[in-house]
Amino acid sequence: MKPIQFYDLLLPALGEKAWSPNTYKTRFTLNIKKLPYETTWVTFKEIYTLIPDITKTGNPPTVPIIVDTEKEKAIQDSLKIAQYLEVTYPESPSLFHGDEELHRSFQATFDTRLVLHLICIIVLKVVKACGDEAAQARFREVREAKYGKTVEQFAGDPEDHIKQIHEVLKDTRKILAEKPYLTGSKVGWADITLASQLRTVDALDHELFDSRILDDTNGGKSLREWYERMSVYA
């Protein structure tokens, strides 16, 4: 099988180190399914100059995308990539285990209740890491137009976000105290979604992540132990 071409998002200050919650979903997907791939790193600016020529759909350019060179097909969006690979390579380990709705229900919870708090914690570090002064100014311009406020106002108080993160993860910690993965004995899309979001904070501020987020407020280790299990697929 020819390697799949995987387009990931580069933060110049981090080098070729995965960090984006969206592209990390695809990295986890490819590793869990044990499919060969090659990574092409693109900057925020290159998303707009390179990706449209690859997807050729007219849709807004985003990452992740993959190009399945075996089938000569480009796929955009982490969930669509996962669904495509599940159908196209059924002999590889499954992500949904016959119940995609269950896995997507976990994703919906994390997407609506968790990821914003995680992003707020590290968004100022992303600004500083995204390139030179011009790149930082462009990042600010786009995000501040989207948020309707300054990046600093959007980031808010980290302590407030940490409190909310622990609140959202209470039920998750309980599940992981009884099961190795969120839906049972096998790793799947639900795990990928959560791990990808957490990896973003880990990549940008490991000390805060390790000391303030992984363990619960009573020192419970179920999330940390699961995160270590997931690390083999990162």
**What is the CATH classification number for the domain harbouring 191?**
1.20.1050.10
Q: What is the mean pLDDT of residues 210-233?
A: 94
Domain end residue (candidates: 88, 108, 135): 88
Task: For the chain, give the number of residues.
Answer: 234
* One domain, residues 69 and 113: no
Q: Is 89 strand, coil or helix?
A: coil
Instruction: Give the separation between CA 168 and CA 203, rounded to whole angstroms.
Output: 21
pLDDT digits (tens, 9 = 90+) for 112-143: 999 999 999 999 999 999 999 999 999 999 99
Instruction: Give the separation between CA 176 and CA 229, rounded to whole angstroms.
Output: 11
* One domain, residues 121 and 66: no
Statement: the pTM of the whole predicted model exceeds 0.85: yes
- pLDDT at residue 145, as a whole number: 96
pLDDT digits (tens, 9 = 90+) for 23-34: 999 999 999 999
CA 50 → CA 24, 72, 75, 117, distances in Å?
20, 17, 14, 30
Our count of domains for the chain comes to 2
* One domain, residues 207 and 153: yes
* One domain, residues 9 and 119: no
pLDDT digits (tens, 9 = 90+) for 67-111: 999 999 999 999 999 999 999 999 999 999 999 999 999 999 999
* One domain, residues 139 and 82: no
- pLDDT at residue 89, as a whole number: 97
* One domain, residues 74 and 123: no
* One domain, residues 17 and 84: yes
Q: Which domain holds residue 77?
A: 4-88
CA 97 → CA 94, 101, 145, distances in Å?
6, 10, 40
In the structure, what pLDDT confidence band is assigned to residue 217 with cuts at 50, 70 and 90?
Answer: confident
* One domain, residues 56 and 129: no
- pLDDT at residue 218, as a whole number: 84
